[in-house]
A and B are shown apart, each in its own frame.
Chain A
């Protein structure tokens, strides 16, 4: 089973 990560976990909101 693979869990899809999300971009805000890697890049910070400006």
Chain B
């Protein structure tokens, strides 16, 4: 028997909105430590890793490890039927091939039950080593989303370059070129507005903007985004899920030919 109950159901709604455009079908891994997922997009260029720890739920029961294969678009459709203030419960009985989503309104005067068939998806997990990154940028998530959106109107590729001056986002295309430089800015009154750059080494990497824009769908989850870079590794774009865990996106770089 597996059951989780999340009082702040809106978090789960936002999580699905953050991943459903990148990955079609994925396995949710349920264990005593929590509710997680790791899945690559169809081209194996990007990967999303989700972790919601069990202690972050109001109620969490997982009698034995369980993998639930789901079509994320269908799951998102069902979660869209939950109100932003609803309590969301997900449960699956052992040996059944369905999962139930239950939505309770705050005043408990409306209870909804949605049942979805589970899928058999062969899980393709990658081993992602913990790494020391040469540069780590923490900045307002809305700012990062704005930069990715603006640069994608100039070109389809962004060059991210971290130096001691700050972080530079560059794009070029048929109509011209654009450079956006963000400097370290720790002296703000609200910590969520700060831009903090930890740089061990200067690093420059090139990425496809369409994946970066897909990652920024997670912006509503967190005020800040962390971008970790190293010369010979995929970039990690991480959004914390308030007090529960995170959504991490990994993106393979492009190289100049």
Residues of A within 8 A of B (CB): 1-14
Contact = CB atoms under 8 A, between A and B. Distances in A.
Which label, helix, strand, loop or mixed, suits the secondary structure of the A interface? Answer: mixed
19 contacts: A2-B255, A3-B254, A4-B45, A4-B208, A5-B45, A5-B254, A6-B45, A7-B40, A7-B44, A7-B126, A7-B234, A7-B250, A7-B252, A8-B44, A9-B252, A10-B232, A10-B252, A11-B250, A12-B127
Interface residues of B, number: 25
Contacts of A2: 157, 206, 254-257
B132 interface: no
A1 to B, nearest CB: 5
B255 A11 contact: no
A8 B124 CA distance: 11
A10 B250 CA distance: 11
Given A11-B127, A13-B125, A14-B127, A1 B257 contact: yes
Contacts, number: 57
Pairs of residues from A and B, 7 with the lowest C-beta to C-beta distance, nearest first = A11-B126, A2-B254, A14-B125, A5-B252, A1-B257, A6-B44, A3-B257
Contact of B128 (A1, A3, A4, A11): A11
Given A4-B208, A7-B40, A7-B250, A13 B127 contact: yes
A10 B127 CA distance: 9
Interface in B121-135: 124-129
